[in-house]
Amino acid sequence: MHQEVQRHQIVLSNNQEIRKTMEWIPIVLVTFKVLVLGTGMFYAIKWHYDQGRKEKERHKEKRALLRAGGQVAAAFVLSLLGLGLVTFFLSKTLGLDVTVP
């Protein structure tokens, strides 16, 4: 009988230790979850902010590239027009027939 009481007390003390341990598990897991989710949210916000900044820089670069391309195209058209006029007046000066039939 005395052994059964001792076993019962051991089981009760083990159950109390397990309960004390189990009381800490939600605290530890919730703390871990908050830390992981907080870190993830921080880096997600940072990544989106950096992408917005890069997008603005890309927009500026694209705008500069389009402006430079437009300037090159305008210079080409003007030089083509100038070459056509020079060719026309040189042909006329040399006495070539430049009339369109």
Task: Write the CB contacts of 44 (distance below 8 Å, at least 6 apart in sequence).
Answer: none
Share of the chain above pLDDT 70, in %: 92
Structure tokens at 101: 């039939």
Q: What is the mean pLDDT of residues 21-30?
A: 83
pLDDT in tens, 32-64: 999 999 999 999 999 998 888 888 888 888 999
Residue with token string 């989710």: 37
Report whether pLDDT(71) > 70: yes
Q: Which of 54, 35, 57, 56 is closest to 46 using CA atoms?
A: 54
Residue with token string 């059964």: 4
pTM of the model: 0.45
Mean pLDDT, the chain, rounded, equals 86
- Rounded CA-CA distance 79/39 in Å is 59
Structure tokens at 58: 């890309």
